[in-house]
Chains A and B, each alone.
Chain A
């Protein structure tokens, strides 16, 4: 039972354009959502998070949007840069429980 789903295994975006990565979840108990970025041969690194009491959180070029009614969150990267090419994982949690990760989306930024 995949509680957190990233339905797009890959995404290709032109440099300078907006990258939008999507994530859906099924568990309405989730109250915190996070995005991690992973380069090959490295562990995932924390990127940005959002609490369920908010619908938007911004950090520089990265913005996460949360639509609780649709159980959907998205990560926007503007403008996209070649260094953003990586695998992006969304994750969710509730209480002091474990993080549940999605399958990941491989983002490729083309020059």
Chain B
């Protein structure tokens, strides 16, 4: 079965611009979460969506937003880009709960590499 698909894989943006990243979860998965990976910070949770509703949110400024569509596909948007937003953005999907435990496992996409110049 197809895995988690993220687009675009690589992109370069200028400070002040905005960017939209897309994630298609595994078929049948209704939970989609987003993470930011930077050197030294590990994976930091951005937000999680389930059935088009944001269920959990991390400690990121309001410039970071997301949404989920009825087909479970999700997008995240970063407005007014800053140099510090340069990172690998990872999307993960799971059947239901965000946990990788209790019978659920979360599956990650390959990520979208964002470089802000």
Interface residues of A (CB under 8 A from B): 4, 6, 9, 32, 34, 36, 41-46, 49, 51, 89, 91, 93, 96-104
Contacts and interface: CB of A to CB of B under 8 A. Distances in A.
Contacts of B108: 36, 43-45
Contacts of A101: 35, 42-45
Interface string B40-53: 11111100100000
B83 to A, nearest CB: 20
A47 to B, nearest CB: 10
Contacts of A98: 33, 45, 48, 56, 58, 98
Interface residues of B, number: 27
Interface of B: 4, 33, 35, 40-45, 48, 56, 58, 90, 92, 97-102, 105-111
Contact of B99 (A9, A99, A102): A99
